[in-house]
Amino acid sequence: MSELRAEGVASKSRGQWNSTFGFVMAAAGSAIGLGNLWKFPYLAGKNGGGAFVILYLSLIVIVGFCLVLAEMSVGRKGQSDAYGSFKKINEKCGFIGMIGVVTSFIILSYYSVIGGWILKYIGSYFAGGISGGESSNYFVSLISSPLEPLVYHLGFMMITALIVLGGVEKGIERASKFMMPTLFILLIFVGIRSVTLPGATEGIKFFLKPDFSKITMGTFIAALGQVFFSLSLGMGVMVTYGSYLKKDGNMPKDSLTIPFIDTIIAMLAGFAILPAVFALGFEPGQGPGLMFVTLPAVFDKMPWGNFFGGMFFVLVFFAAVTSSISLLETSVSLVVDQFKLNRVKAVILLATIAFILGVPSSLANGILGETMIFGKNFFDLMVFLTDNILLPVGGLLLCLFVGYIWGPEEALKEITNNNKLKFKLGKLWIFGIRYIAPVMLGIVIFNCLK
């Protein structure tokens, strides 16, 4: 009893979600980000449309769900930050969590640079929009200028830090409960506008018309990589968020809901973006080019374009900031739990370091553009390091940890609240975490090394 009480007190002092809805919004907020908005629609269109979507959905169900549940269970069992949770379960395995924390911290540094560009665009739309013919110059001159993007990067990092300063419940949960439903409504609005434009069907065809001949090994790897990045897996985020769960919740259900919402938003993004791009005579692309060059040109030609453009960048901002708070929280949680620093100091310290680490990424599009490391500029190097190396390795170690070191039976006890919950997919989950997911990740790592 006294042990129970001690555990309750300990977890209270390190923060806890106040409601399931709040937790699901925060975790979905982490998952839903630029990956859904600027990568998924194009990836699907380019790689076989409906055929890719079917492949992606299968991977979400098989690998995504398995790993979300595995990460959350490690966190809830350990009741500590990502490093501490792994270490509590097995003394020698803290390093797995540490890899995750490092990954999420690096991602934060460049995610915030992009977040800064989004802030700038919101400002531009409020100030009257961006002229279509100029959108490419506008973007290039923004990102290549030395000072301006840094100021916006600082602004974005400060907003992220302010929310995280508020703590788990009053900061992260509260912000997510407001931002995620608003994002959803804005996306529906933009989507309706997009699919009702004359000529929109071309875009829908590009997005969904199935072409199974495009499904190759490369497509498979791209789809799996997208599952990982999009669900914020392999980087300690879901472990950290899981550690703030109350012990009596329903983890199996939550770990189905989060990938489900993430996928719905990715699909909606396809309907919001591609039909408009095609209807107004543009070619789709992905990444920054799509978001910061093509879409402003699309909005400029669209009736009420400035209004929808402004709305769109606000929703992109909500998606990005709910992801960046999860990235910052992952390392804040480590510093608070391991070094007993108070939250305010930890947030200020880590946000400052992440800001500084983001500086060369920001300058890589301008004055540091010629400085190459391993043939890549600093920004691209950071993206490559996290997406192609750290994420799959972190994911693989997680599977091996849960599948073979901690042991899936033990993990299932945590997942089912000591057999109080029915979890019909238990056996399948064990099979997924021990065999399917590690093999798939092994293939990805093997191909990256090649």
**CB-wise, 73 or 323, nearer to ligand PHE?**
323
Give me the phi and psi of 376, to 5 degrees please: -130, 150
Any contact of residue 235 with ligand PHE (CB under 6 A)?
A: yes
CB atoms closer than 10 angstroms to residue 404: 12
To 5 degrees, how large is the angle CA 71–CA 72–CA 73? 90
The only residue of 176, 323, 361, 365 in contact with ligand PHE, by rule CB under 6 A: 323
Residue recorded with tokens 């100029």: 134
Minimum distance, C-beta of residue 238 to ligand PHE, in the bound complex (Å) = 9
* Nearest by Cα to 351 from 105, 113, 100: 105
CB atoms within 10 A of CB 12: 9
Angle between helices 148-165 and 343-363 (to 10 degrees): 160
Residue 364 near ligand PHE by CB under 6 A: no
230 binds ligand PHE (CB under 6 A): yes
Tell me the closest approach of the beta carbon of residue 377 to ligand PHE, in angstroms: 21
According to the binding rule CB under 6 A, does residue 229 interact with ligand PHE?
yes
- Count other C-beta atoms under 10 Å from residue 244's C-beta: 24
Q: Does 232 bind ligand PHE (CB under 6 A)?
A: yes
Spatial neighbors of 418 by CB under 8 A, at least 6 apart, are none
CB 21 within 8 A of CB 29: no
- Distance (Å, whole) CA 77 – CA 71: 10
Using left for φ > 0, alpha for ψ between -120 and 50, and beta otherwise, residue 234 falls in left
103 or 294: whose CB is closer to ligand PHE?
Answer: 103
75 contacts ligand PHE (rule: CB under 6 A): no
User: Which of the stretches 86-94, 228-236, 242-250, 294-302 binds ligand PHE when contact is defined by CB under 6 A?
Assistant: 228-236
Indicate the residue among 377 and 386 with the shorter CB distance to ligand PHE.
Answer: 386
In the bound state with ligand PHE, the residue whose beta carbon lies nearer, of 98 and 280, is: 98
Binding part of the chain for ligand PHE, among 49-57, 68-76, 320-328, 401-409 by CB under 6 A, reads 320-328
Looking at the Cβ atoms of 30 and 194, the one nearer to ligand PHE is 30
Interface stretch with ligand PHE, choices 79-87, 199-207, 323-331, 408-416 (CB under 6 A): 323-331
Distance of closest approach, residue 382 Cβ to ligand PHE, in angstroms: 13
Distance separating alpha carbons of residues 219 and 115, to the nearest angstrom: 28
Q: How far is the CB of 64 from ligand PHE (least distance, A)?
A: 11
The encoded tokens of residue 259 equal 């990938």
By three-state DSSP, how is residue 11 classified?
Answer: helix
104 is an interface residue for ligand PHE by CB under 6 A: yes
Does position 382 interact with ligand PHE (CB under 6 A)? The reply is no
Binding mask 139-178 for ligand PHE (x = CB under 6 A): ----------------------------------------
Answer yes or no: are the C-beta atoms of 328 and 76 closer than 8 Å: no
- Measured at the CA of 340, the angle between CA 338 and CA 342, to 5 degrees, comes to 130
**Footprint of ligand PHE on 17-46 (CB under 6 A):** 30-31, 33-36
The site for ligand PHE, by CB under 6 A, has a size of: 16
Indicate the burial class of 445 (C-beta count within 10 angstroms; 0-12, 13-18, 19 or more).
middle
**Binding site residues, ligand PHE, CB under 6 A:** 30-31, 33-36, 104, 107, 229-230, 232, 235, 237, 323, 326-327
